[in-house]
Amino acid sequence: MISGLVRDFERLLGSSSVLYQPEDLLLYEYDGSVEKGRPDVVVFPTTTEHVSRIVQLAAQHDLPVVGRGAGTGLSGGALARTGGVMMVFARMNRILEVDAENHRAIVQPGVVNHDLTLAAEPHGLYFAPDPSSWKSCTIGGNVAENAGGPHTLAYGVTANHVAALELVLPSGEIVRIGSKHGDAPGYDLTGLIVGSEGTLALVTEITVKLSRKPEAVKTLLAIFDAVDDAADTVVDITARAITPAACEMLDGWTLRAVEDYIHAGFPMDSAAVLLIEVEGLTESVTAQASAVTEVCNVHRAREVRVARDSAERELLWKGRKNAFGALGRLAPSNYVLDGVIPRSKLPQALRRIQQIGQQYGFRIGNIFHAGDGNLHPIVLYDPRDAAQFERALEASAEIIRYCVEIGGALTGEHGVGMEKSELMPLLFSDADFDLMRRVHDVFNPDSSLNPGKIFPLSKGCGEIRVRKPPAHAASTK
């Protein structure tokens, strides 16, 4: 059955754009999460018409289709959970237009996030969403997951920066939604599609809003001797209505791993640091930086350093953005969680995470977007030890449950995907699922696009399902 489909795909795309040998498929059974799922065939379209034709051919063979960008996702969103056709957008990577006057760009889904910012830079513009994987992740993937990043604190997530999309529906129909000007009457379909994790349509073209680079930037590194003090500082910065462009926390334990690897100049003996960036007019940045410093000092910061130049600033950010990679030096694998809580509850949440870690016997590190309450606890484990992996999953589920209990949500930016579909009933009722399912069916009535994601497979009450541990798992984000 597959061989006929492979021949059809090869006729459409050429043989170099179709993979089906088991050794080739291996690479595509992982993303950045701890999940796993192997496609039957992988295809690389280069045009919207290819995408449309591929979904039609797959439908003829009754196989599901899963879209994938760079595979850096952290929730199993871009994995072929039930096999089928994986559509990799890596070769649809052209920037079609940079319209500097109107602050817009039109890109294909496979354009790498950072490449768009590079293309916009000569005009004094940039693309605001900046996930840690920005040098490899694609804008199509950002759209699917409604990706965030450190600077979304001030500038918003992907959904705030997308004006229009071209979609391919499971029927093969090509539809344009939204508009370049971004303000047509009627239902906001763009707002619905962004963050729908590839379960409603395949996105083949994206019109994004570009932002203007600020006149001045100051990056501060506040060093603390107690995690509580750092957390209280974040609460206080928010409460005092200071809105930094970014406000990231790294705890001492992860900090040391990062410093060993990156040599960013992080202090080796601190309990936590805050990496805070303020942007805007020169006059405003000066005022904000002194306001931030004052708050840090009120909460017993040992020292507040200001990056002297862009080189020092970039080094600090390199430390932050490569932190998860650095942790690979400490354990065979790590599981990066993604939960979100009200910012006023940050100190108690960090204490609870440590308790849960102790209870399950894990060291849990924290490197996260403190300013918007988006936690990324990291559980280090050895995937060769099946029992330990199960325990890591249990500890993780307990942390996410706690986030929900204190008024938060299951995921701030990584998506539900395969990872959290069974936890969804913690937040949503049968009526909610029923409506979400009806909306799903408007676009994807046969579940032929990215099946087995977001919606719980079982009717459990937030029990994380029992999974087989993967042979290995590595996180890159």
Partner 1 sequence: MTKTSTNLAARLESLIGASHVAAGPSVCADYAVDAVLHSAVAKPASAEEVAAIVRFAALEKLAIVPCGNRTKLRIGMPPSRYDLALDMTGLSQIAHYDPGDLTLSVDAGFPIAKLNALLFEHKQFLPLLVPWYSRSTIGGTIASGIDSPLRQFYGTARDFLLGAEFVDGAGKLCKSGGRVVKNVTGYDLHKLLIGSLGTLAVVTRLNLRTFPAPPASRGFVASFPTQEGALTLRSAIAASPLSPLTLDILSPGLAHVFATRTPATPEVAVFSDENRGAHQFSLPPVGDWFRPREWQLCAAFDGTPEVLERYARDLTRLAEQARATSTAILDDSTRPSVWGRLRESLSMLLEASPATVIFKLSVLPAQHAALFAKLQEIAERAGLTHGLVARAGGTLYFALLPATADDDTIGRLAQAAIQIFECASSVKGHAMLLFAPLSLKHAFYVPDASSGQHLNIWGPRRPDFALMHRLKSAFDPHNILAPSRLIEIPISSPATP
- Interacting positions 406-445 with partner 1 (CB under 8 A): 407-416, 420, 424, 427-429, 431-432, 434-436, 438-443
By CB under 8 A, the residues from 198 to 227 that bind partner 1 are 212, 214-215
Please report whether residue 108 would count as binding partner 1 according to CB under 8 A.
no
Minimum CB distance to partner 1 smaller for 181 or for 472? 181
Judged by CB under 8 A, the residue of 70, 223, 341, 392 near partner 1 is 341
Please report whether residue 102 would count as binding partner 1 according to CB under 8 A.
yes
Write the DSSP assignment of 403-443 as a string of letters: HHHTT-BS-SSS--TTTSGGGGGGT--HHHHHHHHHHHHHH
Minimum CB distance to partner 1 smaller for 317 or for 443? 443
Span interacting with partner 1, options 175-183, 246-254, 314-322, 360-368, rule CB under 8 A: 175-183
Span interacting with partner 1, options 23-31, 219-227, 401-409, 466-474, rule CB under 8 A: 401-409
Write the DSSP assignment of 273-307 as a string of letters: EEEEEEEESHHHHHHHHHHHHHHHHHTT-SEEEE-
Span interacting with partner 1, options 101-109, 225-233, 307-315, 323-331, rule CB under 8 A: 101-109
By CB under 8 A, the residues from 140 to 169 that bind partner 1 are 145-146, 148, 152, 156-157, 159-160
Cα 382 to chain centroid distance, Å, stands at 24
Going by the DSSP 8-state scheme, the letter that residue 138 receives in this structure is: B
CA distance 222 to 225: 10
Q: Which residue has the tokens 């590190």?
A: 365
Minimum CB distance to partner 1 smaller for 64 or for 214? 214
CA distance 122 to 269: 41
Minimum CB distance to partner 1 smaller for 153 or for 275? 153
Minimum CB distance to partner 1 smaller for 117 or for 270? 117
Please report whether residue 196 would count as binding partner 1 according to CB under 8 A.
yes
Please report whether residue 182 would count as binding partner 1 according to CB under 8 A.
yes
Q: Return all residues near 468 (Cβ < 8 A) that are at least 6 apart.
A: none
Q: Which two tokens stand for residue 335?
A: 């599981």
By CB under 8 A, the residues from 30 to 89 that bind partner 1 are none
Please report whether residue 189 would count as binding partner 1 according to CB under 8 A.
yes
Span interacting with partner 1, options 28-36, 314-322, 326-334, 372-380, rule CB under 8 A: 372-380
Count how many residues are written for the chain.
477
Q: How far apart are CB 349 and partner 1 at their closest, in Å?
A: 12
CA distance 195 to 193: 6
Residue from 143, 134, 305 nearest 219 by CA: 305
By CB under 8 A, the residues from 314 to 333 that bind partner 1 are none
By CB under 8 A, the residues from 22 to 41 that bind partner 1 are none
Q: Which residue type, as a one-letter code, is found at position 103?
A: H
Please report whether residue 181 would count as binding partner 1 according to CB under 8 A.
yes
Contact assessment for residue 410 and residue 403, using Cβ atoms and an 8 Å cutoff:
yes
Residue 361, φ and ψ in degrees, nearest 5: 80, 35
Span interacting with partner 1, options 94-102, 126-134, 219-227, 302-310, rule CB under 8 A: 94-102
Minimum CB distance to partner 1 smaller for 241 or for 268? 241
| CB-based burial label for 286 (10 Å; 0-12, 13-18, 19+) | middle
Q: Are strands 85-88 and 65-68 parallel, antiparallel or unpaired?
A: parallel
CA distance 123 to 383: 47
Minimum CB distance to partner 1 smaller for 20 or for 428? 428
Give strand pairing partners of 89: none
Going by the DSSP 8-state scheme, the letter that residue 409 receives in this structure is: B
Minimum CB distance to partner 1 smaller for 262 or for 454? 454
Contact assessment for residue 46 and residue 92, using Cβ atoms and an 8 Å cutoff:
yes
By CB under 8 A, the residues from 233 to 292 that bind partner 1 are 235, 238-239, 241, 243, 280-281, 283-284, 286-287
CA distance 85 to 50: 13
Minimum CB distance to partner 1 smaller for 46 or for 72? 72
Minimum CB distance to partner 1 smaller for 159 or for 393? 159
Q: Number of residues interacting with partner 1: please give it, by CB under 8 A.
A: 83
